[in-house]
Chain A
Amino acid sequence: MQVSINVNGKQVHEEIEDRMLLVHFLRDQLLLRGTHWGCDTSNCGTCVVWLDGEPVKSCTVLTAMADGHEVRTVEGLEQDGKLDPVQQGFMECHGLQCGFCTPGMMMTARALLDRNPDPSESEIREAISGQICRCTGYATIVRSIRWAAVHEASSEGATL
């Protein structure tokens, strides 16, 4: 079937197999390999992308369901050569180790900060609780997202 999807602000028209999962469409067909795949059962969240502004687990979304909709991936976080404060925060606060869960974590973090610019530690933990990180123990991810919140508030985030 044919799909037409806005991916990171660009309209793409692609021929796909009906059953193709969104994660495979992004990775194998569009070669956007920042979105990872980790379970199959929507437990791990390495595959989180945005569908119309909401984080979804792309391993359990059919590409067909995204037809006519907007998808944003980790590759769409950096704007005009400027890192998103969330990306900076993850580097500054050691919010990643192997980096496999990181794109999904950052997409969820971005969505959280968009609706709640000043989240508490427990709100952050709740927001990322559908995602698994096997390396960091989460404390540094919480700090990373707080870093982004603080630097966005003071607009320092835009300088790097």
Chain B
Amino acid sequence: MTTLETRQTEFVNNDKKPVGYGRMLRKEDPRLIRGQGNFVDDVQLPGMLHMAILRSPVAHAKITSIDTSAAAALPGVVAVVTGADLAAQGLAWMPTLSNDVQAVLATDKVRFQGQEVAFAVAESRYIARDAIELIDVDYEILAPVIDSRRALDADAPVIRDDLKDKTNNHCFDWETGDAAATQAVFDRADVVVKQEIVYPRVHPAPMETCGAVAKVDPVDGQLTLWCTSQAPHAHRTVYALVAGLPEHKIRIIAPDIGGGFGNKVPIYPGYVCAIVAALVTGKPVKWMEDRSENLVSTGFARDYIMQGEIAATKEGKILAVRTHVLADHGAFNGTAAPIKYPAGFFGVFTGSYDLEAAYCSMTAVYTNKAPGGVAYACSFRITEAVYLVERMVDCLAYELMMDPAELRLKNFIKPEQFPYTTKTGWVYDSGEYERAMRLSMKIAGYDELRKEQVEKRARGELMGIGVAFFTEAVGAGPRKDMDILGLGMADGCELRVHPTGKAVVRLSVKSQGQGHETTFAQIVSEELGIPPQDIMVLEGDTDNTPFGLGTYGSRSTPVSGAAAALVSRKVRDKAQIIASGMLEVSVADLEWEKGSFHVKGDASKSVTIQEIAFKAYGAGDLPEGIEGGLEAQICYNPSNLTYPFGAYICVVDIDPGTAQVKVRRFIAVDDCGTRINEMIIEGQVHGGLTDGIGMALMEMIAFDEDGNCLSSSLMDYLIPTALECPDWETGSTVTPSPHHPIGAKGIGESATVGSPPAIVNAVVDALKPFGIRHADMPLTPSRVWETMQGRHVPSV
């Protein structure tokens, strides 16, 4: 055992050492707090070269010529590659995760600022950067399409002329729900409220940017790609399909990942370029994008303009919700979404309410902006859906002059209505919404806050209380309905218990900070009674883990967590048969107590899982028909999604002189079903709440009319710091998922989904004295100030 492992065991072996679920310190921390993590940029190989990418400075232009001679002549430069070079190999275009295509390097024209045009490979990072400065590209500037509202104008320039017979910028249409039934309900409703709601383009901006190290074995052609990937197995298959590389000769290693939030789901041109660079040079090649490249070219999120409508009785019974969405998908449809769900799971826009009807139509368009769409902890567009419905409910409360918490309580789906089929066809598995709402109100001291607000308003102070309630649909998904590029969304898991009772569990998912090494050890531990310290969790290496679609959409615990529990039970079943032989009783006469089997009625006759493991590999016969060894594998196909929910309350104060919004308190009550590690759950919630502050108050990827990205550095794209965040207040209820083997529902994105409407609702509530019913994000001081002056501030 190495010194480091010894220390880790000692440290984790503290006074709180659960066998199974409970608060436990993380197994990944001992290396990370010593600076001994292994991130992609930490990978150094002998003879490794460095790659840098030249990107388009303009949003829309024809490439008339590229001269690479000066770059190629620079000492230290090994190769310079353009789109034409790739085209000669049939590699200039690649499929996106939405069955569109995307240019690896531009050949005909550039379609967004920051698009990949050429790359240089050199002996050092610095020389590679010098080299791309020397590449001379001539552009013939074309008019760009920046405003998605103008994308379908008859005179709009056609962005995707690479697609056969494409004469406009239409990307796709999609609808869900019953238009006629919804119209009928709207026709007879007492109250109809309409509101345009914009969810601006934002960016996940993980602290570690995207990158890769590619190595090709010159003898057998084996490709190893260390890569910032949340979905290494899916990536491997896509590379095999695209580049014609044999899949068994591709090994993807996603080492420690410095945050993902969906940003590391897609396959980016840079990864493909790194592979090409390694093939061309015969040397390992590293590519790490810089922060600007990350912000201008990789997967953005949101960018929905939503026309919201809500219908209700005058007493406040919500009858129907309807929306038309204009979706900006950028220059290529790079959304990672199941084929049947081009708008992700936006269909859950009916929220947590018992409605009579609902309908959504959507038009998606191409613009001269970066591709992406599903990212930033959005749970496949549920952030947009929840934001829409929670803003609309508040708009209704405003019109009815009702308390927003009371209005929600009046309309929740009731516990006895579960499983509840929504008007758009989603089957919510379980929920106790009122309980969560009441707990949140209790922690907040809701009534006292409203009293305080009345007093403050009387003094001219601007205090707002925002309420939001969300239901998520996570854990995609049943493979009959859900896939990524035709790959079913089921996930494998393998478990081996070694002779001495220590275990290794191998997973298809990939942590980007969520603590899988701890959580999954605890799941196996709960099922087998082996201490979590004795269980190693392996993931992120396609050669050493079973196939599965990876970590996004809060799917790790709902899908792979189920797989880990079920594979453990499979091992336990085998262990029971071996135990029956050891104790010389029938299998039916054995009882399981966490970690051991004993004879029913005689606890003194027992064998531990460790003893059984040794027997499984040991000398002597096993019961008839039982193979040696104690291991199992499964592939888990979820029967349904899981539906976490939560009740959030936000309290803000706005400085009337500067319009600065201060989040004073934030109360988050989450129900993610069975809770595996309280500490990790709380951390996941805190992180998502901070995303909410970012999106609601400061983050936006903005463009000027020429398509220049105005948010290309962290000086312009503002992310919350410790000063903008309150000391989060969290609470929980537990409504286990009835169909999930351990009742867990997933928590990774709940707070990112639920917090933006709570914060915006609070700001709008604070601005009520100005007669404000809605204001679009981000609610920066200047935008709030303009809103207070009664001026409309469009956010895109």
A contacts, CB < 8 Å to B: 17, 19-20, 24, 27-28, 31-41, 43-44, 46, 73-75, 77-78, 83, 87, 90-92, 94, 96-103, 106, 121, 124-126, 128-142, 160
Residue B258 at the chain A interface, CB threshold 8 Å: yes
Known: A39-B291, A90-B33, A129-B721. A99 touches B713 (CB 8 A): no
Q: Is B209's CB within 8 Å of the partner chain A? A: yes
Contacts of A99 in B (CB 8 A): 28-29, 32-33, 37, 256, 258, 513
CA distance A102 to B682 in the complex (A): 18
Within 8 A of A (CB), among B675-692: 679-680, 682-683, 686-690
What 17 new A-B contacts, CB under 8 Å, besides A77-B34, A136-B690? Answer: A36-B258, A38-B209, A39-B713, A39-B714, A40-B713, A43-B713, A75-B34, A97-B259, A98-B259, A100-B39, A125-B722, A129-B721, A129-B723, A130-B721, A134-B204, A137-B683, A139-B728
Contacts A98-B206, A134-B205, A134-B207 given; does A142 touch B32 at CB 8 Å: no
A91, B35: Cβ atoms under 8 Å? no
- 1/0 contact trace for B657-691 toward A, CB 8 Å? 00000000000000000000001101100111110
Q: Which residue of A is nearest B723, CB measured?
A: A129
**In whole angstroms, how far apart are the Cα atoms of A103 and B205 in the complex?**
19
Chain B 681-726 interface residues, beta-carbon cutoff 8 Å to A: 682-683, 686-690, 713-715, 719, 721-723, 725
Chain B contacts for A28, CB-based, 8 A: 44, 125
In the assembled complex, 16 residue pairs joining A and B whose CB atoms fall closer than 8 Å, in A order, are A32-B35, A33-B35, A34-B36, A36-B41, A38-B208, A39-B291, A91-B33, A96-B32, A98-B206, A98-B259, A99-B28, A99-B258, A100-B259, A130-B721, A139-B725, A142-B727
- Tell which of B206, B291, B512, B515 has the most Cβ of chain A within 10 Å: B291
| Interface residues in chain B, defined as those with a beta carbon under 8 Å from any beta carbon in chain A | 11, 25-26, 28-30, 32-37, 39, 41-42, 44, 124-126, 204-209, 256-259, 261, 290-292, 512-515, 679-680, 682-683, 686-690, 713-715, 719, 721-723, 725, 727-728
Q: Chain A binding site: helix, strand, loop or mixed by DSSP?
A: loop
Whether the pair A101, B291 counts as a contact (CB closer than 8 A) is no
Report how far A75 CA is from B723 CA in the complex, Å: 28
Asked whether, in the complex, the Cβ of A96 is within 8 Å of the Cβ of B35, the reply is no
Which residues of chain B have C-beta atoms less than 8 A from A142's C-beta?
722, 727
Complex: A91 Cα to B7 Cα, angstroms: 13
Q: Are B714 and A41 in contact (CB under 8 A)?
A: yes
Contact, CB under 8 Å: B209 / A121: no
Taking a contact as CB atoms under 8 Å apart, the answer to whether B690 and A94 are in contact is no
Interface residue from B39, B680, B719, B723 paired with A134 (Cβ < 8 Å) = B719
A residues less than 8 Å from B204 (CB atoms):
134
Q: Pick from A19, A46, A138: contact of B126, CB below 8 A.
A: A19
* Alpha-carbon distance between A139 and B663 when the two chains are bound, in angstroms: 14
Measured between beta carbons, the chain B residues less than 8 angstroms from A46 are: 207
B693, closest chain A residue (CB) = A137
Q: Provided the pairs A78-B34, A134-B259 are in contact, do residues A38 and B11 lie with their beta carbons within 8 angstroms?
A: no
In angstroms, Cα B727 to Cα A83, docked, is 27
Give A38 to B209 CA distance when docked, in angstroms. Answer: 7
Query: Could you say which residues of chain B place their CB within 8 Å of the CB of A73?
Result: 35
Contact (Cβ within 8 A) A133 B207? yes
